[in-house]
Amino acid sequence: MNGHTIKRVPFFVLVFLCLSLALQIYFSGRSQNRPSRFEQIENPPSFITLRLLSLAEANAIAKLAMLRIQTRDQASLDELDYSNLTAWLGRIIELDPRSNYALFSASELYAEVENPQKQRVMLEFIYHEFLKNPNQHWKAMTRACLLARHSLKDNDLAKKYARAIRLYATGAAVPSWAKQMEIFLLEDLNELAQTKIILSALLQSGEIKDQHERLFLEQKLATLERKMTEKK
């Protein structure tokens, strides 16, 4: 390739190739003497190191790092080192905080591992990342709540996650069903008194502006009160 040819290549393509090479060199140096059957995920480099490798294109290096991780997860998820995996995912989010892809992968892929211990590691990672930016990461948190309830059968953990959504995911873009997830979870667990407390507080807060939604919740409250009376 001569100088004239290089000049015709778009700048972003050259940057992408340079980043790919830099990341490949880094991983190659870390993976020497590893068994060929399965190449384990190493600890990620520091945020500063990755920024230096990125040539000021942090979001590009984040995408490359995500692709690199996904070449390792073609083996059984149970073989992956989840401590290193969550460290990489966290670093990728640091590099490209506007992207939801790393946390989407965490909730929709890596949290589905058929290993309760590793599943808990991934769910807690999602929870802590959610707390940093609740209004952006509420979808991953609702998924984590459902996995805690139905996969791990850990009702206390599910309630912890649902409560966090109610308390922190308060943005206008967060749908009502997500904000009210705790109410439906507690009702499903037959914790009627606690459900009534939260539902009553929500109705009295003035947060519910849609009249149809308010009517629906008022009817649900009346149903709860009737159930509680029948249980006495």
**pLDDT value, residue 5:** 42
**pLDDT value, residue 13:** 41
**pLDDT value, residue 16:** 46
Q: What's the pTM?
A: 0.78
- Residues with Cβ within 8 Å of 145's Cβ and at least 6 positions away in sequence, in order, are 158, 161, 162, 165, 181, 185
Contact 65, 54 (CB under 8 A): no
**pLDDT value, residue 113:** 93
Where the chain has pLDDT below 70, the residues are: 1-40, 45-57, 72-75, 232
d(CA 82, CA 25): 23
pLDDT in tens, 45-64: 666 666 666 555 677 777 87
Exposed / middle / buried, residue 155 (Cβ in 10 Å: 0-12, 13-18, 19+): middle
pLDDT in tens, 24-46: 545 554 544 444 444 567 777 66
d(CA 227, CA 223): 6
Contact 66, 101 (CB under 8 A): yes
**pLDDT value, residue 1:** 47
List the structure tokens of 119: 């599943």
- Residues with Cβ within 8 Å of 221's Cβ and at least 6 positions away in sequence, in order, are 196, 199, 200, 203
d(CA 95, CA 105): 16
Contact 123, 154 (CB under 8 A): no
Amino acid at 51: R
d(CA 14, CA 16): 5
